[in-house]
Amino acid sequence: MLVTFTTKAYADITMFGDVAIAMLKMMGHSGTVPSAILATDVPVALSRLTAAIDAEKTSPPVADKDADEPVVSMAHRALPLINLLAAAAKAESNVMWK
């Protein structure tokens, strides 16, 4: 499953479903897809997400010794969504995902 985040203030962001739902939960949302955050609630969601990402940065990622690919941290995965939320907060725009 893919989840696409949209707002009028920024380009669409598409993520894998499991990562997107984890980030939605970090923002204090239920993780329901599709759904939305009203413009008035976007700054709070952004601060919750950045706080959760900062807290997660303190713990090192667990590497899978059998995997051939490098581990991508949640902080790197969250950066496009953080940029989208920041733009939406600045423009006072709703954020939706499907």
The pLDDT tens digits of the residues spanning 68-88 come to 777 788 899 999 999 999 999
More confident residue, 67 or 54: 54
**Residue 65 pLDDT:** 63
Domain locations in the chain? 2-56+73-97
Q: Which one, of 33, 5, 13, 36, lies nearest residue 21 by Cα?
A: 33
The pLDDT tens digits of the residues spanning 18-43 come to 999 999 999 999 999 999 999 999 99
Which residue spans within 18-76 are E strands per DSSP? 35-37
What is the pLDDT averaged over residues 49-58?
88
For residues 41 and 49, the answer to whether their CB atoms sit within 8 Å is: no
**What pLDDT band is residue 6 in, cutting at 50, 70 and 90?**
very high
* pTM listed for this prediction: 0.87
What is the pLDDT averaged over residues 30-58?
93
**Two structure tokens written together for 52:** 């959760």
**Residue 70 pLDDT:** 76
Q: Which one, of 13, 18, 20, lies nearest residue 49 by Cα?
A: 20
